[in-house]
A and B are shown apart, each in its own frame.
Chain A
């Protein structure tokens, strides 16, 4: 693979191989962060300075003006709220529905369960573009007067919530079914013998035991749904109704001539995901590797 991995591990106090490895890893890590650091650097500089002195130049002024301008000019609060209105119900509903399917599949062998799980998992692996043309037509043809502002599923937060739930529940059902299968069967068996209802078995006995998996999935789903670009791009027509990630595309058009402002604007949209990631890093990574089969 390369020289570093070929070096034998040494057990002496000074380990040149380790030092070399650290130098290599630190250098690569820095290179990996470089594009983001460059974006931050550009965003901190006023446009007038970079246009006069060039982008690769020693900074004279560094301030947060671009960030405040990008935030205020494009009314980002509004788009963050749009995302919130879509993401929160979508995450909760996905977890609720997929845990019910997982419970059914893992506790009651009605023979169809493997097939059911197959349908859910396969559906989740499809590229979104495979289904978008009929989905778009279906959303246009579904009239919901009085329920959504647009009177249709198209161009509504409800439509986005539904497709997120339908698409993501496949992955979550797969992960949760595996998780529930590893829980001791004696628990639910004893409760059933005692006369507990199926609903109690699910809600009061199984779900509380799935907290770690649910937390991991909730973190993962929040970031995925927040980061979604495609569904909203096609299924939302009014710019005002777009969630923040898709709105970014329009917003960048407004301040197209000022790359520093574009940098600041796009970095602002990354902040919520980064906060969630740093706060819940363990959950995120464990969620990702729990099921793994996710594009």
Chain B
């Protein structure tokens, strides 16, 4: 983020700006702010609100007069009757825990190493970052070549590719979530590395020198000096990782369409639309759970970000 300008001077200028506006300018401005806002609010916020409202109704989607208010029925059914719901919540949580515990620290570790002004740094960075550029759908197919029971790399290497000896990395509900998480972590590492590299670049080099002069070794310098100054990056990393865990969809859909073992909230919502029996109110109830969890993360983050900006 570029540093915001000096506050008092900015206010003065903005007031000056306003006085100089003609009528036409005001119309232009209203149009410039209005058109994008209407489009964004209509397609993102009105639909999010509609999700909340529809979650308390039952609707066949044909005419508006067939919308029936059913209160909390959809949620009751979701929490008590749906055998896929709690596994999905659990898998979303596991997804986050794995991403934050394994690829995130590893991405930070790689960033710290690559920040040492070593040779070939760019080459290494490109290799680690490549999976972030490729679509998740493509990644799903690439990892299938590794996990396929009969033709995949792993089973071919360990001799489990003969009928009767298959290890079904994609179909076995005890294995498939972990298999897909390996692929997700593979991608997440590069993403975290890039975020941390940017964070490390903004660390004042004199801090490092001062710490070295005090006789701290590299690990002590990192733990006591560098890591605390990475706080803003850590916040972003945490938010990005939570959002990634809630958004997880493409990889699992390509892998096994979210069959037993890999259910996710996003998959349940989608299957309710493109599946055989589309129940609008019920699908919206799942979406509301997802929205609720997202907002717990998004709102405090945005408040913190914008408060900082305002005071700056």
Q: Collect the chain A residues with CB atoms within 8 Å of residue B249's CB.
A: 128-129, 229-230
One of B39, B119, B244, B284 near A133 (C-beta < 8 A)? B284
Q: Collect the chain A residues with CB atoms within 8 Å of residue B10's CB.
A: 109, 185
Q: Which of B180-196 contact A (CB under 8 A)?
A: 183, 186, 189-190, 194-195
A148 within 8 A of B: no
How big is the A interface, by class? 35 or more
A249 within 8 A of B: yes
* Closest chain B residue, CB of each to CB of A167: B44
A281 within 8 A of B: yes
Q: Collect the chain A residues with CB atoms within 8 Å of residue B28's CB.
A: 197-199
A230 touching B198 in the complex, CB below 8 Å, given contacts A22-B120, A100-B32, A167-B43: no
Interface size of B in residues (CB-CB distance below 8 Å): 123
Which of the listed residues B13, B24, B141, B183 has the most CB atoms from chain A within 10 Å of its own CB? B141
Q: Are A97 and B141 in contact (CB under 8 A)?
A: no
Q: Collect the chain B residues with CB atoms within 8 Å of residue A215's CB.
A: none
Q: Are B61 and A179 in contact (CB under 8 A)?
A: no
Alpha-carbon distance between A283 and B195 when the two chains are bound, in angstroms: 14
One of B45, B186, B265, B269 near A123 (C-beta < 8 A)? B45
Alpha-carbon distance between A166 and B10 when the two chains are bound, in angstroms: 30
Alpha-carbon distance between A265 and B135 when the two chains are bound, in angstroms: 13
Q: Which of A96-140 contact B (CB under 8 A)?
A: 97-98, 100-101, 103-105, 107-109, 114, 116-123, 125-138, 140
A42 within 8 A of B: yes
Q: Collect the chain A residues with CB atoms within 8 Å of residue B11's CB.
A: 109
Distance in angstroms from B268 CB to nearest chain A CB is: 9
* Closest chain B residue, CB of each to CB of A164: B43
* Closest chain A residue, CB of each to CB of B232: A292
Q: Are B145 and A38 in contact (CB under 8 A)?
A: yes
Distance in angstroms from B305 CB to nearest chain A CB is: 7
Please encode chain A, from 26 to 37, with 1 for each CB lying within 8 Å of some chain B CB and 0 for all others.
Answer: 101110110110
Q: Collect the chain A residues with CB atoms within 8 Å of residue B4's CB.
A: 178, 181-182
Q: Collect the chain B residues with CB atoms within 8 Å of residue A163's CB.
A: 43
B72 within 8 A of A: no
Q: Are A189 and B240 in contact (CB under 8 A)?
A: no
Q: Are A132 and B270 in contact (CB under 8 A)?
A: yes
Alpha-carbon distance between A281 and B7 when the two chains are bound, in angstroms: 35
Q: Which of B93-137 contact A (CB under 8 A)?
A: 105, 109-110, 112-114, 116, 118-120, 123-124, 126-131, 133-137
Alpha-carbon distance between A38 and B183 when the two chains are bound, in angstroms: 14
A8 touching B142 in the complex, CB below 8 Å, given contacts A133-B280, A136-B273, A202-B32: no
Which of the listed residues A21, A30, A162, A198 has the most CB atoms from chain B within 10 Å of its own CB? A198
Q: Are B127 and A182 in contact (CB under 8 A)?
A: no
* Closest chain B residue, CB of each to CB of A135: B47
A125 touching B42 in the complex, CB below 8 Å, given contacts A133-B280, A133-B283, A273-B133: no
* Closest chain B residue, CB of each to CB of A163: B43
Q: Are B61 and A140 in contact (CB under 8 A)?
A: yes
Q: Collect the chain B residues with CB atoms within 8 Å of residue A230's CB.
A: 249-250, 270
A4 within 8 A of B: yes
* Closest chain A residue, CB of each to CB of B39: A166
Alpha-carbon distance between A198 and B21 when the two chains are bound, in angstroms: 8
Distance in angstroms from B161 CB to nearest chain A CB is: 8
Distance in angstroms from B159 CB to nearest chain A CB is: 10
Alpha-carbon distance between A23 and B127 when the two chains are bound, in angstroms: 15
A156 within 8 A of B: no
Q: Are A119 and B40 in contact (CB under 8 A)?
A: yes
Q: Are A270 and B243 in contact (CB under 8 A)?
A: no
A170 within 8 A of B: yes
B1 within 8 A of A: yes
Q: Are B137 and A248 in contact (CB under 8 A)?
A: yes
Distance in angstroms from B162 CB to nearest chain A CB is: 11
Q: A30-B127, A107-B17 are in contact. List 17 more A-B contacts (CB 8 A).
A: A32-B189, A38-B142, A97-B36, A119-B41, A127-B243, A127-B266, A130-B294, A131-B287, A133-B273, A162-B39, A182-B4, A198-B21, A233-B274, A266-B141, A289-B194, A292-B240, A293-B236
A/B interface sample: 6 pairs, CB < 8 A:
A101-B36, A133-B269, A137-B61, A248-B138, A270-B134, A293-B305
Residue numbers of B with Cβ under 8 A of A are: 1-5, 9-11, 13-14, 16-18, 20-22, 24-25, 28-29, 32-33, 35-37, 39-48, 50-51, 54, 61, 105, 109-110, 112-114, 116, 118-120, 123-124, 126-131, 133-138, 141-146, 148, 151-153, 156-157, 161, 183, 186, 189-190, 194-195, 197-198, 217-219, 222, 233, 236, 239-240, 243-244, 246-247, 249-250, 253-254, 265-266, 269-270, 272-274, 280, 283-284, 287-288, 290-291, 294, 298-299, 301-302, 305-306, 309-310
